[in-house]
Homo-oligomer: A and B are copies of this chain.
Amino acid sequence: MRLLVVEDEHKIAAALKKGLEQENYAVDLAYDGEEGYDFASTEDYAVIILDLMLPKMDGVTVCKKLREDNIHTPILMLTAKGELDDKVSGLNSGADDYLTKPFAFAELLARVKALTRRPKHTTQTKLKVADLTLNTNNYEVKRNAKVIQLSKKEFALLEYLMRHPNTILSKDQIIAHIWDYEADVLPNTVEVYIGYLRRKLPNLIHTIRGFGYKIGEAK
């Protein structure tokens, strides 16, 4: 599935491209409004991720022009913090959803998935690994019918692990996925959260020294 990211901050653009490609999307980048508009009106995208503040042509204008051209590709608008009015104008201009910076990548991914409208059975909302289930609709984690209480971060980490079974996820990947791009947390923080999860869910998360972590049945 092909996505367009229109974002002038290269750091963010590069991070999104990398993350989305890991999730098997094909990603095109545009660095200003005009370029974004050109791409969007030439190519056929599943979703357009569009920053609000852009050089040459701002997001709202891009959005409006596309809608005038009868291009109804779903648009996810990125707005800087505190620009609440912009949210409104973003939605009025024809955007389908918005996200406030700084956001965690996992957050963006969830919205993109919602917009691609993969019917429910494709976007897994009930994840299962061994005797553990995680429901992303009601944020409930159960092990053998017993509910486990998790904090927000613990839940996000567990969800990420469970969405990538049989995959080793490095601490850096985990940080890039769970924390927002301004956060700058230490790898040790991941170790600590893995520790928390293991206390509540023993024998499920495995360390692969030098590489990262992996979830799965006891070996």
Contact = CB atoms under 8 A, between A and B. Distances in A.
A93 B11 CA distance: 8
Given A139-B168, A167-B138, A9 B210 contact: no
Contact of A94 (B10, B17, B94, B211): B10
Interface in A1-53: 9-11, 14-15, 17-18, 21, 29, 31
7 tightest Cβ-Cβ pairs between the two chains A and B: A152-B210, A11-B91, A10-B94, A11-B92, A14-B96, A139-B211, A138-B168
B9 A92 contact: yes
Contact of A10 (B21, B91, B211): B91
Nearest to A147: B219
Interface string A180-219: 0000000000000000000000000000111100100000
| Oligomeric state, in copies | 2
A83 to B, nearest CB: 14
A67 interface: yes
A211 to B, nearest CB: 5
A138 B97 CA distance: 34
Nearest to A90: B11
A166 B151 contact: no
A95 interface: yes
A10 B93 contact: yes
6 contacts: A10-B67, A10-B93, A17-B96, A29-B72, A137-B167, A138-B214
